[in-house]
Amino acid sequence: MLNREEKEFESEGLLEQAAARPSDSQGSYTLLRSGLFISIFLNIAFASFTIWHCRGSHSSYDRGFATDLGAARGAIELIQHDFGGGVELDEDGNFLTDSRGSEYVGPPSPAVDQAWDYLERGMNIDLHGQEGAEVQTFRWPETGASFTGLEVFHSLHCLNKLRQALYPDAYGHAFSESHGPMRKDHIGHCLNHLRQSIQCHSDLTPMEWKRVGNKLILSTKTPHTCRDFNKIHQWALGRMTDYNGLPTVMNGTLEIVA
Ligand SMILES: *[C@@H]1O[C@H](CO)[C@@H](O)[C@H](O)[C@H]1NC(C)=O
């Protein structure tokens, strides 16, 4: 069934209608204009949302994700880094290892321990005021600061634990507690943690195979796009937890078990 207006529209020519019933024409013009305004508004709103979603919410590797610590996002800088420490094959068929990163590997020594200690420095940090406001974490009763840290340091700590587990003679004591978090299944925790971290970041850099004589060898010296760890490390080093200012930790009232 057609309503009254539609019937009238059918029976009248457009010009005739416009001339005869100016108020109706005004009405459709207003409607058209409102529609246009609504459409423009929605377009602007959608564009703003898209821009906010891409930039404001920091949903990218270089700007940071919603789950990244907001206060640390400013420390993100992308770099291209050729991975070091790869195994290479010379024309005579000898295997060589690229020496970059050698300070972190090899038999236990004070120098290797120091290299890892430095990587782990800045794992525990205190965030004061606005910097710590967003973090759901423990706050020190003395200072009100948020006790936190960046996941990258926890992963490095776990990798160091696995390294130590390879040398029980040198580091056996680190795993000898029967009840603390350093008991043997800490190794399982670290394996699973690092597995998830690697899967989570899913590096899509292609593997490059090189032919040397009749051998195909993986060349790992390829450029990767990375967050500059040194920048992030400096950011964390500037916020390290100062336990001396925390009597509850110093006098044993609170014990950090990880
Ligand atoms: C440890 O220090 C806290 C903070 O100053 C204090 O409240 C607590 O009584 C102290 N506990 C001991 C056992 O000294």
Q: What is the 3-state secondary structure (H, E, C) of 164-215?
A: HHCCHHHHHHHHCCCCCCCCCHHHHHHHHHHHHHHHHHCCCCCCEEEEECCE
Instruction: Tokens for 20, please give them.
Output: 């005869």
CA pair distance 119, 189, nearest whole angstrom:
20
Distance in angstroms (rounded) separating the CA atoms of residues 165 and 180:
16
Give the pLDDT of residue 110.
97
- Residue 212, H or E segment: strand 208-212
Closest CA to 5 of 32, 33, 25: 25
Best mutation site among 248, 249, 254, 255 for ligand 1, i.e. most ligand atoms within 8 A of its Cβ?
Answer: 248
Distance between CA atoms of residues 97 and 104, nearest Å? 14
147 Cα to the center of ligand 1, angstroms: 19
The packing angle between helices 229-237 and 151-165, to 10°, is: 100
Q: Report the pLDDT averaged over residues 35-47.
A: 70
Q: How far is CA 120 from CA 164, 226, 233, in A?
A: 14, 19, 9
Query: Residue 49: what pLDDT?
Result: 56
Q: What is the mean pLDDT of residues 137-159?
A: 97
Least confident residue range of 14-28, 135-149, 167-181, 214-228:
14-28
How much is the pLDDT for 180? Answer: 57
Residue of 253, 254, 255 to mutate, ligand 1, most atoms within 8 A of C-beta: 253
Q: 180 CB under 6 A from ligand 1?
A: no
Share of the chain above pLDDT 90, in %: 62
Q: Using the mean position of ligand 1's atoms as its centre, give its distance from the Cα of residue 251 in Å.
A: 6
- Rg of the chain over all Cα atoms, to the nearest angstrom: 31
* Residue 51's pLDDT band (cuts 50, 70, 90): low
User: Looking at this protein, which amino acid is placed at residue 173?
Assistant: H
Q: Is the CB of 250 under 6 A from ligand 1?
A: no
Q: Is 248 in the pocket of ligand 1 (CB under 6 A)?
A: yes
pLDDT in tens, 170-197: 998 777 665 555 566 788 999 999 999 9
pLDDT category of residue 117 using cuts at 50, 70 and 90: very high
β-strands 208-212, 95-97: how paired?
unpaired
CA–CA separation, 20 vs 3, rounded Å? 19
CB-CB contact of 256 with 241 (8 Å): no
Ligand 1 near 247 CB (within 6 A):
yes
Closest CA to 96 of 203, 207, 202, 212: 212
**How confident is the model over 11-27, as a mean pLDDT?**
48
- Tell me how far the alpha carbon of residue 249 lies from the centroid of ligand 1, in angstroms: 9
* pLDDT score recorded for residue 147: 98
Q: What is the average pLDDT across 151-155?
A: 98
> Which among 153, 166, 94 is positioned nearest to 122, based on CA atoms?
153
Tell me the CA–centroid distance for residue 253 and ligand 1, in Å: 6
Is any atom of ligand 1 closer than 6 Å to the C-beta of 253? yes
**Separation CA 66–CA 229 (nearest Å):** 19
Task: Give the atom of ligand 1 at the shortest distance from the alpha carbon of 141.
Answer: 4
Ligand 1 atom, smallest distance to 142 CA:
4
Report the C-alpha gap between 26 and 240 in whole angstroms. Answer: 69
Whole-angstrom distance, CA of residue 61 vs CA of residue 68: 10
Confidence band, pLDDT 50/70/90 cuts, at residue 112: very high
C-beta 141 within 6 A of ligand 1: no
State the pLDDT at residue 55. 55
Which range has the worst mean pLDDT, 54-58, 68-72, 220-224? 54-58
User: By CB neighbour count within 10 A (0-12 exposed, 13-18 middle, 19+ buried), where does 254 fall?
Assistant: middle
Higher pLDDT, 133 or 17: 133
Flag whether pLDDT at 137 surpasses 70.
yes
* Calpha distance 65→203 (Å, rounded): 16
Q: Is the pLDDT at 53 greater than 60, yes or no?
A: no
Cα of 250 vs centre of ligand 1, distance in Å, is 9
Q: How high is the mean pLDDT of the chain?
A: 84
